[in-house]
Amino acid sequence: MSADLNDSIVMRAMLARPSGIMTYVIRNILALEHGFRGLPTAAVLRRLKKLEAAGKVQRVRSSYAIQLCWAITDAGREVLGGEA
């Protein structure tokens, strides 16, 4: 199930949402809109951390103490071909 999950799918799930989208919300979008039912939030977090290391997404400020919020960077938008 998470074997089909790739960087492009994760970033596309973030596109229609405002900047500062939380990890669990990205996971829910992937489950509901992209058919990744049963996908663990930890798998999404690992993918986001890899994307962060590649400079495609970044952590953004949040009003929550523990929740991580993410946004697509300009480099990530270029990878998506200007869809964002």
The residue type of 16 is: A
For 73, the 3-state DSSP assignment is coil
Structure tokens at 5: 């999950």
For residue 40, give Cα distances in angstroms to 23, 47, 57, 64.
11, 11, 20, 21
Note the pLDDT of residue 2: 53
Please check whether residue 58 is in contact with residue 73, taking contact to mean a CB–CB distance below 8 angstroms: yes
Q: Report the predicted TM-score, pTM, of the whole model to 2 decimal places.
A: 0.86
**Any idea where the domains of the chain sit in the sequence?**
2-78
Give me the residue label for tokens 């199930």.
1
Average pLDDT of 2-25? 85
**Which residue's structure tokens are 């890899």?**
50
User: Which one is the CATH code of 2-78: 3.30.1370.60, 3.40.50.1100, 3.90.1150.10, 1.10.10.10?
Assistant: 1.10.10.10
**Tens digit of pLDDT for each residue in 22-50?**
999 999 999 998 889 899 999 999 999 99
What is the rounded radius of gyration, in angstroms, for the C-alpha atoms of the chain? 12
pLDDT, position 3: 57
